[in-house]
Amino acid sequence: MIELKQLEKSYGMVQALKGLSLSVPQGCLYGLLGPNGAGKTTTLRILCTLLAPDSGTVTVAGLDALSDPRAVRLELGYVAQEVAIDKILTGRELLQLQGDLYHLRSSDRNARIDELIDCLGMESWIDRRCGTYSGGMRRRIDLASGLLHQPQLLVLDEPTVGLDIESRSAIWQLLRELCAKGTTVLLSSHYLEEVEALADRMAIIDDGRVIAEGTPDQLKQQLGGDRVTLRVREFSDASEAEQVRQLLEGVDGVCQVVVNRAQGFSLNLVVESEQVLPRLREQLDGVQLPVFALAHSRPSLDDVYLQATGRTLMDAELAVAGQRDAKLERKKAMR
């Protein structure tokens, strides 16, 4: 459904995309995961014909988005991150405007709007002005306007950011059902859980490139090993943690032991399998050390990200949090 090849895009000195390639099969719910500033939004804006790449090719539903953008616009619905809404119009008027821009016949248009009002639960406030809407309401209006012309591809940029849990799970549910009925859905997110819970396939984007691609399970399995988090006491000190680390490193089946300073000197282990757990306990019992907590888990997407970039998604978020240039960002979004 979507083929992006070797996309490059710079904003002045900043290179946002460095040869990004992506392929999304038809009928797939595809997640783009990456920290803020990784290039997700730029990728989606290029895909939606809002932005021309410096180089590379964009194909949507077999159509070349660069030479025939209008044909591509007919096929896709785009739900942007910053919800631009006309505060003076009511939700219904906004949808009517949207329907006219997609050239729906007015009877079809109104029937379709009623349908969406019904299934997105908007009837009680649809005739109020958009300026009075909450974040969740705006997002629903935006979803509705993206779905109005029944596109075969729905593109969503961070669809649930800043939403309450109830709205979020409702949107998840909607996306799943859309996908089940044959719509291809591409969404970007910097929430691990969101991509993990929703996506059939996913790509991890970092620094303008795809660094991992596959189904969430594949990506996790490729890492190999299980994860164990262990604490001997609720609060250990550095020397005790170090002592334990040395003890456990020798245990058969333990691949790696890291002291996690950020979490009260707990120990993060990579082990070959579940069978290693009793051996860990034995080892500690042997030197009279207690076990306060021991948690065992399959590798998570965060581990995938960690493996590929050498930092956790959280660290990557924090690193860019302070250096986002609000002015540049606004300029990027402006035509």
Partner 1 sequence: MISPVATVTSPAAEQQDQGPFADLVQEILALTRRLFLQLLRRPSTLIAGILQPLIWLVLFGALFSNAPDGLLPGGMSYGRFLGAGVIVFTAFSGALNAGLPVMFDREFGFLNRLLVAPLRSRNSIVFASVIYITSLSLLQSLAIMGTAALLGYGWPGAAGLVLVSFTLLLLVFAFTALSLGLAFALPGHIELIAVIFVANLPLLFASTALAPLSFMPDWLGWLAALNPLTFAIEPIRAAYGGPLDLGAVLLDAPYGGVSGYGCLTILLLVTIGLFLIIRPLLNRKLA
Residues of the shown chain interacting with partner 1 in the complex, contacts defined by CB under 8 A: 48-50, 70-71, 73-74, 76, 78, 80, 82, 84-86, 88-89, 93, 96-98, 100-105, 108, 111-112, 115-116, 118-121, 129, 140, 145, 147, 150, 167, 170-171, 173-174, 177-178, 181-183, 330-331, 333-335
CB of 161 to partner 1, least distance (A): 15
Structure tokens at 245: 């680390």
Greatest pairwise CA separation for the chain in angstroms: 79
Decide whether 4 or 304 has the Cβ nearer to partner 1. Answer: 4
Q: How far is the CB of 260 from partner 1 (least distance, A)?
A: 39
- Minimum separation from the CB atom of position 100 to partner 1 (A): 3
Q: Considering beta carbons, is residue 41 or 236 the nearer one to partner 1? A: 41
**d(Cα 104, Cα 51) in Å, to the nearest integer?**
25
Report how far residue 156's alpha carbon sits from residue 143's, in angstroms, rounded to the nearest whole number: 9
Give the whole-angstrom CA distance, residue 296 versus residue 285: 19
**Residues 109, 87: Cα–Cα separation, whole Å:** 21
- Closest to partner 1 by CB, 30 vs 305, is 30
Smallest gap from Cβ 103 to partner 1, in A, equals 5
Tell me whether residue 147 or residue 199 sits nearer to partner 1 (CB atom). Answer: 147
Q: How far apart are CA 185 and CA 311, in angstroms?
A: 28
Which CB atom, from 3 or from 75, has the smaller least distance to partner 1?
Answer: 75
- Nearer Cβ to partner 1 (41/189): 41
DSSP H helical segments within the chain, as ranges? Answer: 40-47, 69-75, 91-101, 106-119, 135-147, 165-180, 192-198, 216-223, 238-249, 276-286, 301-309, 313-321, 326-333
Q: How many CB atoms lie within 10 A of CB 219?
A: 23
- The nearest distance, CB 97 to partner 1, in angstroms, is 5
Separation of alpha carbons 260 and 268, rounded Å: 7
Shortest Å, Cβ 198 to partner 1:
14
CB 98 to partner 1: min, Å: 7
Q: Which single residue is written with the structure tokens 């044909």? A: 71
Is-contact 30 47, C-beta < 8 A? no
Structure tokens at 52: 């021309």
Closer residue to partner 1 (CB): 119 or 318: 119
Contact at 8 Å (CB) between 226 and 298? yes
